[in-house]
Amino acid sequence: MNLKKKLLNEKVRMYIYYLLVPLFLLIESEFSLLPRSSWLGSYILILAANSVTFSWMSEHVKLFKIHKEYFWTYTSILLITTLSFPLGYTLLGVYGLPVFFGVLLIYSLMGTESAMASAITLSTVAAIVGNGSFELFAIYTIGSIGSVLLTKRLVKRFDFSKASLWNSVLSILMVLSISVDFFPYSIQLKSIVLMGLNPFVSMILMVGILPYVEYISRIYSNVGLIELGNLSHPLVKKLSVKAPGTYFHSVVLSNMCESAAQRINVNYVLTRVGPYFHDIGKIKRPEFFTENQRGVNPHDSMSPMMNYLVIASHVKYGEELSKSHRLPLLVEDMIREHHGTKMVSFFYQKALSENLKVSPDDFRYPGPKPRTKESGIVMLADSCEAAVRSLKSPTPSKIRNMIEEVVNGIYNERQLDNSGLTLRDIDEIVEEFSKILSSMYKNRIEYPKNSQEVERVIRVAKM
C-alpha cells in the first residue's frame, strides 16, 4: 500500500514537473507575467522539448533514478540559465543568449546524455526568445551538442576551454551558412563575433559558479573530484595519522580502481578519489581493524555480536562523516556500498563455535549493494586487496588465483547484481587487479647466498 502511495506521489510529482517547469521557463524567458496570445504555442513547444528529453534522460541516465538531487539540480540549472536570457537578449540580441552556460554546467556535473537533453530544451527556449527562429534553434543545438560530443570528457580545466572553442567554431560555421542566404554582410559580422565570444563568456561564468553548485548539490564535476583527491582533505589527513594501515590500503585501492576503471571505460576520476574515503569511518576505532593492529587484538575480549557491531559501524560512521563534510554523493555511495550486504563471516563462525543461536543475517553489513559500475569496482578491489595482503608468500599465480576466488565469491553472492558490471567487465577487472597486485606484493627475487652460486650467475651472465 505504501509503495503504491509512493509511486502515485512520484507520478503526480512528475506530472507537475512536466507541466510547471515549461511554464516557468517561458515566464523567465519572456521576463513578464502578463500572458500574450503567442504564449500557448510557445508553452506547448517548450513542454514538448522538455518532456521528451527529460523522460528519455531519466530512463537512460541511471543516476537520476538513484539520487533525487540530480533531478533538482538539472531543473535548477535550466531555470537559472533561462533567467539570464532576457538580459542577454536586451544587451546583445539573439546571439547573446548563454545557452552554453547551462549545457556546460550540466555536462560537467552529469555527463553527455544530460547535457544533450538540456541543449535541446534550452535551445528551444532561446529560439522562442528569438521570435520562433528555427535557425537560432539549429545554431544553439548543434553548437552545444557538437561541442559536448567533440570534447568527450571534462577532466582538466583546459577541457572547458576546448569545449568552448568547439562550440564557438561550430556556431560560427552555422551562422555563416545561414547568413549567406538571409542577411547582409554587416549583420553577419556582428553575429559571428557574438557567436564566437558567447561560449567563452558562458564558460567563464560557469567556472565561477561551479564550486557553489557542487557544494549545494553534492554532485561533483571531475575537476572538483580531482581537487578533493589531492590527499590534503582534513578527513584523509586524519586517516593517515589515526589509521595509517587503512590509509595505505586506501591508496593502494585508489590505484587499483583507477586502472580498472580506465580499462572498462568508466569514470576513472571518481574511482581514484572515492577509495581515499571509502573506509573513512575507521578513524573512530582504528585499532579494531586488522590493518592497524600491532600484535594486540581488542576483539579477543569481546562477544561475537559486539565484534560485528564495531566492524560494521565503520560504514555508518563513514556515511555520517561524508554528510557532515558534504562529500560528493557518489563518494558517499562508495562508503555505504563497498561491503554491500556481505556477511562478516569470521565473527559469525566465532558465534557458531561458541554455540550461540545466530543467523547469518545478524552478521551482515547494512548495504545497499553497489549501484554503479564504479562502486562495484571499489567493492571488488577492497576484498581483493585485503585477501592478497593476507597471503603468506605471494607469487603472481597465487595472487591471480586469490583474486579469481574472491571475485567469484562476490559475484556468486549476487553483490554485483545492481552494479551494471558485465561478465566481460569483471574479467577485465580481474586481469587489471592481478597485474597491479602482482607488481606490488610478489616476493622479491632472492639474491644468491654463497660464493659458488655468485660465480655461476656471473658465468651465465658472461655467456
Interface contacts to Fe ion, rule CB under 5 A: 279, 382
Specify the residue, 128 or 403, whose C-beta has the smaller distance to Fe ion.
403
Specify the residue, 84 or 371, whose C-beta has the smaller distance to Fe ion.
371
Spatial distance between the Cα atoms of 128 and 149, rounded to a whole number of angstroms: 25
In the bound complex, what is the minimum distance in angstroms from residue 371's beta carbon to Fe ion?
17
In the bound complex, what is the minimum distance in angstroms from residue 145's beta carbon to Fe ion?
40
In the bound complex, what is the minimum distance in angstroms from residue 390's beta carbon to Fe ion?
13
Specify the residue, 218 or 336, whose C-beta has the smaller distance to Fe ion.
336
Strand (E) positions, 259-335?
Answer: none
In the bound complex, what is the minimum distance in angstroms from residue 339's beta carbon to Fe ion?
6
Specify the residue, 135 or 382, whose C-beta has the smaller distance to Fe ion.
382
In the bound complex, what is the minimum distance in angstroms from residue 407's beta carbon to Fe ion?
16
Specify the residue, 148 or 336, whose C-beta has the smaller distance to Fe ion.
336
Specify the residue, 258 or 279, whose C-beta has the smaller distance to Fe ion.
279
Spatial distance between the Cα atoms of 283 and 150, rounded to a whole number of angstroms: 43
In the bound complex, what is the minimum distance in angstroms from residue 382's beta carbon to Fe ion?
4
